[in-house]
Amino acid sequence: MQNESKQATPVLQVKDLSVCFKTVNGLVTAVNQVSFDVAQGETVALVGESGSGKSVTSLGVMRLTPPAPRAQLSGEVWFRGREDTQPVNLLSLSEKEMRSRRGKDIAMVFQEPMTSFNPLHTIGKQIAEGVRIHHGISKAAALDRAAELLDMVGISAPRERLKNYPHEMSGGMRQRAMIAMALANDPCLLIADEPTTALDVTIQAQITELLQELQQKTKMALLFITHNLGVVAEIADRVMVMYCGQIVEQANVEALFAQPGMPYTQGLLKSVPKLSLGEGHQSDLPAIPGSVPSPLALPSGCHFGPRCAHIDADVCQQVNPVLAEVSAQHWVRCNRWKNVAESLQHA
Ligand SMILES: Nc1ncnc2c1ncn2[C@@H]1O[C@H](COP(=O)(O)OP(=O)(O)O)[C@@H](O)[C@H]1O
Ligand SMILES: [Mg+2]
């Protein structure tokens, strides 16, 4: 899936994005200095266990976190839409400017479309409104466009379906309709946050395929969030692994699966069912022991240390490692990545 054109100027370039929440129990840093970019036509996957900061990262990019002082956003989010001659820092736009980009230049698909659609209005009305807000066309023309979009995402009898209320659709069809709504204004960046998690496996595969097809047609940049590495293998060009609000590994998809450098990534890979990855991965190994620590009580040093088979207490409990480039375009946040790589070779 890698090709030269994907090295073009990034559509999205995130630099040192942090998101802190003020809670009754103290300050929570849900996203801690995250940097990455996504180019036109590229799919970048963001993976990690529940609670690692994936959704908050995407909400930060979209500026959909609660207003200050409840949440504090810092860093830079450079975005270049089709009409921009220069990238703009989304974090420095006014709320009004930001609103005009959401749902147009940048669109988002969530896990549960039941909560994204208003249950009181038909699907057709909601998609058509999304089109009208940004284009000022007639109601009839917007409905035509909505039908076209439903057809594009593989919903049959789209004219009839426009009249459906969200609860009248199956989960899979609702998710297709949600994707149709997201694509209504031909965004150059789509953020899909666990878009298939609530669906059964067959429908999951269909939705993933649909997203890939649509992306090939429209050349949009796709940030795909999932906790499922099996899906990542199918869809992504590059992968970022997140843990406790930090990116702990970043590589192209082949390198990540062939040579996962961070013990956390290795653990995630071991817990993926063998079928979805092909030979060479075992499904009967335990998932990573323990659980994601509370962001209010992060372990000192390397946050993954207490769950890591490779821990060297002297080093790992003292030093929160930096992301080291272990080979070209492959970064790993581990104090002991050299030892870990050696032990893999001898395994
Ligand atoms: N509004 C909020 N207030 C306080 N903490 C939050 C809020 N939203 C998310 N968090 C915390 O941020 C961390 C990351 O959450 P999230 O990004 O939703 O994880 P993921 O999407 O990877 O499952 C979690 O510890 C979560 O409890
Ligand atoms: Mg999430």
What is the distance between the alpha carbons of residues 96 and 117, in angstroms, rounded to a whole number?
Answer: 22
Across the range 14-41, mean pLDDT stands at 96
Mean pLDDT of 305-323: 95
User: E strands, the chain, where?
Assistant: 10-23, 26-39, 43-47, 71-79, 88-89, 106-109, 189-193, 221-226, 238-243, 246-252, 324-327, 330-332
Quote the percentage of the chain above a pLDDT of 70.
92
Has residue 282 got a pLDDT over 80? no
Task: Identify the pLDDT of residue 221.
Answer: 96
Q: Report whether the peptide linkage leading into residue 69 is cis, meaning its omega lies within 30 degrees of zero.
A: yes
Give 77-93 pLDDT, tens digit per residue. Answer: 999 998 999 999 999 99
What pLDDT is stored for residue 86 in this prediction? 94
In sequence order, the 6+-apart residues with CB closer than 8 A to the CB of 38 are 10, 11, 12, 44, 189, 221, 222, 223
d(C-alpha 75, C-alpha 94), whole Å:
16
Looking from the CA of residue 56, the nearest atom of ligand 1 is 17
Structure confidence at residue 1 as a pLDDT band (50, 70, 90): very low
pLDDT of 105 higher than 50: yes
User: Which residues contact ligand 1 via a Cβ below 6 A?
Assistant: 21, 23, 28, 30, 48, 50-56, 66, 295
Mean pLDDT of 158-178: 93
Task: Tell me how far apart the alpha carbons of residues 141 and 137 are, in angstroms, rounded to a whole number.
Answer: 6
Query: What share of the chain has pLDDT > 90, as a percent?
Result: 74
pLDDT of residue 273: 67
Q: 23 CA distance to ligand 1 centroid (A)?
A: 11
pLDDT of 8 reads: 64
Cα–Cα distance measured from residue 323 to residue 334, given in angstroms and rounded to the nearest whole number: 7
Answer whether residue 114 shows pLDDT above 70.
no
Read off the DSSP letter of residue 102: B
pLDDT for position 132: 85
Q: Look up the pTM and report it.
A: 0.92
Q: State the pLDDT at residue 5.
A: 45
Per-residue pLDDT tens digits for 222-268: 999 998 898 899 899 999 999 999 999 999 999 999 999 999 999 99
Rounded to the nearest integer, the mean pLDDT of the chain is: 90
Summarize pLDDT for 134-145 with one digit per residue, the tens.
788 899 999 999
Does pLDDT of 298 surpass 90? yes
Long-range CB contacts (within 8 A, 24+) of 167-171:
167/114, 167/119, 169/123, 171/113, 171/114, 171/198, 171/199, 171/203
Q: DSSP string spanning 158-218? A: HHHHTT--GGGS-HHHHHHHHHHHHHTT--SEEEEESTTTTS-HHHHHHHHHHHHHHHHHH
Distance 260 CA to ligand 1 centre (A): 26
- Residues less than 5 Å from ion ligand 2, measured at CB: 54-55
**Ligand 1 geometric centre to CA of 53 (Å):** 6
Backbone angles phi, psi at 197, to 5 degrees: -60, -35
Closest C-alpha residue for ligand 1 atom 7? 21
Tell me the three state secondary structure of residue 310: coil
CA 337 to chain centre: 26
Q: What is the pLDDT of residue 274?
A: 57
Span 151-156, mean pLDDT? 92
Cα 163 to Cα 125, 129, 251, distances in angstroms: 8, 14, 44
- What is the sign, positive or negative, of the torsion defined by CA atoms of 110, 104, 234, 244? negative
